[in-house]
Structure 1
């Protein structure tokens, strides 16, 4: 029987965390789901660690050839999904036990015109310890039109919808827009949400149902600069796609707030320091 929900994990060099990620999916209170994982030619022992899950009938383990960037693997696992509803979880993030149950309930209550559901999330360090709770959303609430949600996203200068672990799609809607959109690679998630939300509504579950792991690989001065440039490009693109909903003033506001957010991230990563490294995060503070 085809499951209602597909949770898909595009794994790449996630050996330190991938087992905890998959365990968090398999521990869901909602049980009508499959878990599809594809390893994107990892150079660590991600693939070897995945083998302990191979005997679970809910799990399918695949491989994706090297190349093509993140989109190649995100598309690979999403196209392999058979469920009506789809959630992508990166290979170092965590789902809380009631995530699928709460989001399926929310989509069912909202009706077929609602294509996306999201929730807030906690931020965790390298050892999975929460250091910020219930982040995201930034005023998004209830059921709202996709275009109103997009305006709120641009005006925030960030991504209040959250990382993929926070979001669940109707799989047919994701397929209809051509799967994941990496026009701006650092905004592959938000860029894809935008394409789907042009076609339908959003509903929000206002509670933290996932944990996003902050790691050292997410920070560098060069990376911050690239992320900021792509944020501004993303804002311009959303204006082009929905000019009646997202104005040039919205874009200007979003660009200013994106610069503020970039500065805040830089300070936050400096403050976190060694907690972003799993092998150091468990050591007592000096």
Structure 2
């Protein structure tokens, strides 16, 4: 008999972090699940770590060559047998009632509701000063965006970086929809989660369980140049939607320039960072502390 949920976890060289992820899945109050871990050709002890768990709900699949997270998710999708598919990064943690509450939310709604997400909290592995944490949560733009529900009307906020769903670790989607949209686009090395979500939104509505049920572990940022390349690909993929939104006065390009400005400032590449910042959407007051933190990190990077 097919499980209710197929949980798909792509992983690469995270033998140290994946135990907490696995345990958070196996501890779900919704026990009717399968956990498909796709190892994208790791060079560490990931296989041995996964083999140490004696639970017949776990499937372990290995790629012979590294293909990227989108390809790893698609390998999991090919093997999934559940009514729903849920996605989880291999260093994040679900709280125990996450799947139960999401499945119940979707089952209580009409057929047009095909996916659900939940709120998330960012965790710093080395700990975080309680005061800094409280201030960060207070000024976070997530306070304005998390919790939104709907269908195609959410494509705009997703493209303009006004809706953050942490889709790579929060999203649960009807399996028929995942297959209908052909899973993840393997041409994306970054922004694959919002790209996937946008295609889901074209086929149905997204619900939200308005509780923090995901702990996202901060694992550092990719190089700014790679983010810029991926960002261009993302905006080019949805160029028609971007043009339509900007005709409506929504500055999608400016929002993405702000994202890139922060990445370059973080690395201490101030000339490029300030060039993007001049072209960006005007930051809200609550965003300014984060921008100052990027500048501080950039100065430290240059000094170091």
TM-score normalised by length of structure 2: 0.76
Q: Does 1:267 align with 2:293?
A: yes
- Once the two structures are superposed, what CA deviation does each residue of 1:182-202 show, in whole Å capped at 9, x if it has no partner? 433211111111111111111
The 1:207/1:11 distance shift into structure 2, 3 A limit, reads: same
- Once the two structures are superposed, what CA deviation does each residue of 1:186-245 show, in whole Å capped at 9, x if it has no partner? 1111111111111111111222111111114x34xxx1233244335423433425865x
Kept in 2: contact 1:18–1:92 (CA 8 A):
yes
Q: Does 1:193 align with 2:197?
A: yes
The 1:232/1:16 distance shift into structure 2, 3 A limit, reads: same
The 1:78/1:127 distance shift into structure 2, 3 A limit, reads: farther
Q: Which structure ranks higher in relative contact order (CA pairs < 8 Å, sequence separation ≥ 6)?
A: 1
The 1:121/1:242 distance shift into structure 2, 3 A limit, reads: same
3-state SS in 2 of match to 1:111: coil
Question: d(CA) in 1 for partners of 2:291 and 2:38?
Answer: 30
Kept in 1: contact 2:119–2:146 (CA 8 A):
no
- Once the two structures are superposed, what CA deviation does each residue of 1:153-183 show, in whole Å capped at 9, x if it has no partner? 12236x6121411111111111111110143
User: What is the aligned counterpart of 1:148 among 129, 146, 153?
Assistant: 153
Output aligned runs, 1:17-96, within 5 Å.
Answer: 17-53=17-53, 55-96=54-95
Q: Does 1:139 align with 2:145?
A: yes
Output aligned runs, 1:1-286, within 5 Å.
Answer: 1-53=1-53, 55-126=54-125, 131=133, 136=142, 138-141=144-147, 143-145=149-151, 147-156=152-161, 160-216=164-220, 218-219=221-222, 223-240=223-240, 246-248=245-247, 249-250=249-250, 251-259=252-260, 262=263, 264=290, 267=293
Question: d(CA) in 1 for partners of 2:51 and 2:295?
Answer: 33
Kept in 2: contact 1:41–1:63 (CA 8 A):
yes
Kept in 2: contact 1:3–1:32 (CA 8 A):
yes
Instruction: Determine which structure has the larger strand proportion and give its number.
Output: 1
Q: Which runs of 5+ in 2 are unaligned?
A: 266-289, 298-304
The 1:268/1:128 distance shift into structure 2, 3 A limit, reads: same
3-state SS in 2 of match to 1:37: strand
Question: d(CA) in 1 for partners of 2:253 and 2:114?
Answer: 28
Q: Which runs of 5+ in 1 are unaligned?
A: 272-286
Deviates more, 1:70-79 or 1:18-27: 70-79
Question: d(CA) in 2 for partners of 1:86 and 1:137?
Answer: 27
Kept in 1: contact 2:167–2:197 (CA 8 A):
no
Q: CA RMSD, aligned part only?
A: 2.8
TM-score normalised by length of structure 1: 0.81
Question: d(CA) in 1 for partners of 2:175 and 2:262?
Answer: 31
Question: d(CA) in 2 for partners of 1:16 and 1:183?
Answer: 28
